[in-house]
Structures are given as structure tokens and as C-alpha cells.
Homo-oligomer: A and B are copies of this chain.
């Protein structure tokens, strides 16, 4: 965990560092959502189906800490908080969008591979 001269998989390389921070589905989804337009907290919570408010808060904090989104508070009553993408975050979101496109184009191949795999496994199971 100390030597980092052996390539892109050493524990201390930039790739690992980035992956540690944003390689989870909630971060990516939140980034995509905010990239399309600035959003309020509850709007995001409603839009990202299945996320809890606790996890959303944690996710937004981490994205903000990494300089990928910005958080601005309007001193109204009650307070309204808006999250917006930063230039850095947008350049990352572009790649997320590419992945989104890819997933739509290749979902059928993946589903087919899954059912094929599961099918061959259940066969092996039955003749045990």
C-alpha cells in the first residue's frame, strides 16, 4: 500500500483516488442529473428514484468536496439550496453521458449474456 510506481493499479495513483470518490451509482446519477440543469435538494431526491435523503446528502457533500458541483444557499424563508455543476464536474459528466448512451445501446447484449450465464449455471446445478 506504499509503492505507487508499478502502474495504474497501485493504491495511490490518481485513477484509484478518483474511483474511491465517485465510483458508485449514486454519485454518477447525481452528477448527470445536476449537469442537465441546476436542482434543489428535494427535486433531486424525487428524481433519483430509490435514494434516501441521508445518502443523497452524503453524495452531494462528496461531489461538492471534490469540486464537481457547487452548493448555493438563498436566504429566503424557508431556505432554498441549489446545486449546480462546475466546469470540472461538467467535463466529467460528459463522460457519464457517454456511458449512459452506451448502456442504452448495449443493454440487450448484457441482458442476453446474463440469462445465458444463469441458464448454463442452473443446468450444472441440476445434474449435480
Give A residues with C-beta under 8 Å from B.
1, 6-11, 14-21, 23-25, 28-29, 32-33, 47-50, 64-67, 88, 91-92, 95, 98-100, 102-104, 106-107, 109-110, 112-114, 116-118
Contacts and interface: CB of A to CB of B under 8 A. Distances in A.
A63 to B, nearest CB: 10
Those 8 A-B pairs whose CB atoms lie nearest each other, nearest first? A67-B113, A19-B25, A14-B107, A18-B103, A23-B25, A65-B117, A14-B103, A11-B49
Contact of A117 (B64, B113, B114): B64
**Do most interface residues of chain A lie in helix, strand or loop, or is the interface mixed?**
helix
Copies of this chain held together in the complex: 2
A95 to B, nearest CB: 6
